[in-house]
Amino acid sequence: MSSELARSIVDEGGSSACLQRLKSLSSKAAAVLSDFQGVLMLPALASIAEETARELSSHKGGISLGGLTYLTAEVASALALCEGPLWFPSVKELSSEAVEALRPRKGWTSFQGLTSLDPEMAKLFSESSGSWRFPGILEITDQTAQHLSEHTGALSLDGLPQLTDATAEFLGQHQGPVHLDGITRLSMAAAEGLAQNKDQLFLSSIKHIDDATLYLINNIEGKVYLLGLESVHYKHLDSLSTKKVGLKHELDEIVKFAVGARNGNDEDAYLMGCLLVGREHIEYNPSQAFVYFHRAAECGNPEAQVWMGTLNEFGEGVPQDPSAAFQWYLRAAKARHPEAQLEIGRCYELGIGTSPDHRKALAMYLRSAKQKNAEAQCAVGRFYAEGKEVSVDLDQASKWYRKAAEQGHSRGQYELAECMFASPNVREEDLKSAYNWLHQAAENGFVEAKFRIGVRHEEGLGLSQDPSCAITWYTEAAKMGCAKALHRLGRCYMEGLGVIQDPSEAVNYFREAADSGSGEAKHALGECYAKGVGVKQDILEAERWFIASGESLWVQAADDNVYSQCKIAGEFEAGTDLLPRDLTRAAWWYLKAAELGHPEAQAKIGNWFEVGIGVEKDLEIAVHWYKRAAKQHRVDAQTALARCLHNGLGTAKSNIKSTYWYRKAASQGDLWAQIVLASRLLQGVGTSVNINAAVELMEDAAHKGNTTAQLCMSEYYGVIPAPLDWSELKFWRINPLDENPEKSIRWLIRAREGGDMEAAFRLGWHYLIGHCILLGIIISDFLSVADIVIIAAAY
């Protein structure tokens, strides 16, 4: 390297300079490079002259000599004067002379290539006051540890996966900072030994506090840094609040809030309550959250008062008490808190903790709505649309729905569109505006809007009759688990509406819809088996769907046998020779079973109140039953409740509560809940951002065959260029440190093998631009001729 080139590197500046092709370095060039302010990386420099090393020693930014495999005593002596860090990644052996020469070192010196350290060499290192890092050493003897304990500078043994009790005892006697960031768990004896440390101890791979770690926290003479802790338990907060523990920022903030709350700060008490019900970085503890919320609520914090109402209403951390819930909501509402006013309106409307009073409900909804609470605006719109306490007035309903819609509230957008479609004096421009609102709600993920667009296109209700377009929207809604959309798809395939007639495919959709609780789909599936349409005729299987039980079933049902009640409801729902189909009676029996605590019936009747099957449509009542079923661990009710809370359907919109129920469903193995929760953890929706947890959830769903999760994992391991804007996945492009293009392609292939056309488009695009073999994978092996023709046509 010439001096001129060295000067250009210095002048260009930067935090580091990697000279990958530099195989020799003169002393003159080294003298110039020593002026560089950042880290110098010389990975190809296999040897270095003493004079060159001496010139480099005046560099202060750190030097990595990755190409050097042997360190002579002369070069070591020259480099010992360097003030910045030194890295020797490839040096696998050291002479005692070289170590002796390095004794004047003051800064960090790292020997990544060393895999062992004998006692004699350890003694030489201990006689220096410099800082030594040995990340490649996986095991040391007790005698080596004893010699290292005599060292007074910083010591890093990050490669050690575990400690013997004696080694821990010796390292605890070390007089300087000790880094043991490879240790994931301590024995009690090891903790007792390390507690002798009087300086700084770094244990960044310990993720949870067990008894040994707690002992170390409480007894260490110096300070322990547990920067890898993922979460803490409430009972450990007092121990963590001492100045002897270093934590990552999120946990440090929790500790500060706990100290503040303990010292009487009501705002910190409120924040602690939120953390304890939010499940982020601290274990879920609604009972203790109740204590904190109560303290803040008594000090007049309206947010805390709303939470007190919520915990009392649903029996979280305290026995369920609707009356107490109503009183707490009322206290916050008197402080003009919009969410509390909304909750009081809901209580008056549904009779929660008070007598039902629609007039008072509307008054409270109006107060909240005037403070721009979108959910309350939707409630006022619903009162006008349904004529509750007021005359039916679609113009007034539209006015309030519009206010919510303009705030981006998907329910408001949907209801506004439906009001506009239903208007008796609708004009052409109104139809266009209605469709735009309906489409916007659908694009925001409101499943009912997607389904309704499909219905309107199928039947020509306010939109052009287009069965093919209807199929597209039904499919979108079906992907979100909409049973009605699945049933409609089955009917379309059965009749050949918008698709080629295919009774077998129709049966598949009917079965999926039936499994999702659709009564109509169950009836249709029974007819298919009875008539042998799309399946082999099977009267016994048909009877399974059309079964009629007999007199004894009615006697049992009258005696409050919930199983029999559900059986009767199912018969009325499906219709048989003995019990003709009657959804109103089916709903009555489901409601009876639901009131006796049957979770399946509660989930069913919640769904029926949501969509208006056999009962008058009432979203608030639907949410009430979803909540009761969800608390009994009914997964479909938990996801339904989470969806309602997210979209503001029949309840106040709350991302925090929605995330809580998605987390419940995900913990029971619901893949869609896992995917939604992962996306929320990634984006910080209703919870703190936690990329590691998000990726873990998404990868689990992907391994279980979910193609959406597989596409997300493909994005995560390294974005593969594509000509389209994959907007629903682009938030997974987080530039991970562990980018792995091969894994990205493998996940894409798995998604394609699972039938995902989007994955086919991505693979096909690479094929069409000439990437026939990508990372050793033959792309065409995973694409059919039809795939390639379709993809080529798209571009």
Please provide the size of the chain in residues.
Answer: 795
For 437, other C-beta atoms within 10 Å of its C-beta total: 25
Residue 761, amino acid: F
Decide: 96 and 75 in contact? Cβ < 8 Å. no
Distance CA 347, CA 359 (A): 12
Model confidence pLDDT, tens digit, residues 240-268: 888 789 888 888 888 899 899 888 898 99
Please provide the distance, in angstroms rounded to a whole number, between the alpha carbons at the two ends of the chain. 49
Distance CA 9, CA 24 (A): 16
pTM score above 0.85: no
Contacts of 286 (CB under 8 A, 6+ apart): 276, 277, 311, 316, 317, 318
Task: Give the confidence band of 127 by pLDDT, cuts at 50, 70, 90.
Answer: confident
**Mean pLDDT, the chain, whole residue set:** 86
Encode 351-361: b = buried (16+ Cβ within 10 Å), e = exposed.
ebbbeeeeebb
Decide: 198 and 222 in contact? Cβ < 8 Å. yes
- Comparing 243 with 787, the larger pLDDT belongs to 243
Percent of the chain with pLDDT over 70: 89
Helices (H), 387-461: 394-405, 410-422, 428-443, 447-459
Place of tokens 């798995």: 750
Of 337, 329, 286, 279, which is closest to residue 306 (Cα–Cα)? Answer: 329
Distance CA 30, CA 219 (A): 49
pLDDT at 281 over 90: no
- Comparing 181 with 761, the larger pLDDT belongs to 181
Decide: 145 and 120 in contact? Cβ < 8 Å. no
Angle, vertex CA 653, rays to CA 701 and CA 398, nearest 5: 120
Arithmetic mean of pLDDT, 648-664: 91
Decide: 672 and 639 in contact? Cβ < 8 Å. yes
pLDDT at 577 over 80: no
For 558, other C-beta atoms within 10 Å of its C-beta total: 11
**pLDDT at residue 724 in the model:** 39
**pLDDT at residue 722 in the model:** 44
The DSSP result for 624-663, as a single string, is HHHHHHHTTT-HHHHHHHHHHHHHTSSS---HHHHHHHHH
The DSSP result for 523-580, as a single string, is HHHHHHHHHTSSS---HHHHHHHH----HHHHHHHHTT-HHHHHHHHHHHHH--SSS-
Arithmetic mean of pLDDT, 740-766: 76
Distance CA 487, CA 480 (A): 14
Distance CA 178, CA 168 (A): 11
- Strand-pair category, 245-246 with 773-774: unpaired
Q: Give the dihedral of Cα atoms 289, 294, 297, 299; nearest 10 deg.
A: -120
**pLDDT at residue 438 in the model:** 92
pLDDT at 766 over 80: no
Distance CA 1, CA 29 (A): 6
Model confidence pLDDT, tens digit, residues 190-228: 999 999 999 999 999 999 999 999 999 999 999 999 999
State both tokens at 404. Answer: 């919510």
Which strands, in side-by-side order, build the sheet including 108-110?
16-18, 39-41, 63-64, 86-87, 108-110, 131-133, 155-156, 178-179, 200-202, 223-225, 245-246
Distance CA 667, CA 257 (A): 28
Angle between the N-to-C axes of helices 374-386 and 410-422, in degrees from 0 to 180, rounded to the nearest 10? 20
pLDDT at 728 over 70: no
**pLDDT at residue 128 in the model:** 85
CA 401 to chain centre: 31
Contacts of 644 (CB under 8 A, 6+ apart): 610, 619, 622, 623, 626, 650, 651
- Strand-pair category, 178-179 with 155-156: parallel
Residue 152, amino acid: T
CA Rg value for the chain: 34
**pLDDT at residue 589 in the model:** 84
User: For 69, phi and psi rounded to 5 degrees?
Assistant: -105, -15
pLDDT at 173 over 70: yes
Model confidence pLDDT, tens digit, residues 525-573: 877 877 788 988 876 666 566 542 233 334 444 456 676 677 778 878 8
Decide: 165 and 186 in contact? Cβ < 8 Å. no
For 133: left if phi > 0, alpha if psi spans -120 to 50, otherwise beta; the answer is: beta
pLDDT at 779 over 60: no
**pLDDT at residue 648 in the model:** 92
Model confidence pLDDT, tens digit, residues 415-446: 999 888 887 777 778 888 988 999 999 999 99
CA 264 to chain centre: 33
State both tokens at 700. Answer: 């689990």
State the SS3 of 12-81.
Answer: HCCCEEECCCCCCCCHHHHHHHCCCCCEEECCCCCCCCHHHHHHHCCCCCCEECCCCCCCCHHHHHHHCC
In this structure, of 639-653, 731-745, 772-786, the range with the lowest mean pLDDT score is 772-786
For 127, other C-beta atoms within 10 Å of its C-beta total: 13
**pLDDT at residue 778 in the model:** 57
**pLDDT at residue 473 in the model:** 94
**pLDDT at residue 782 in the model:** 53
- Strand-pair category, 86-87 with 131-133: unpaired
Of 43, 31, 42, which is closest to residue 3 (Cα–Cα)? Answer: 31
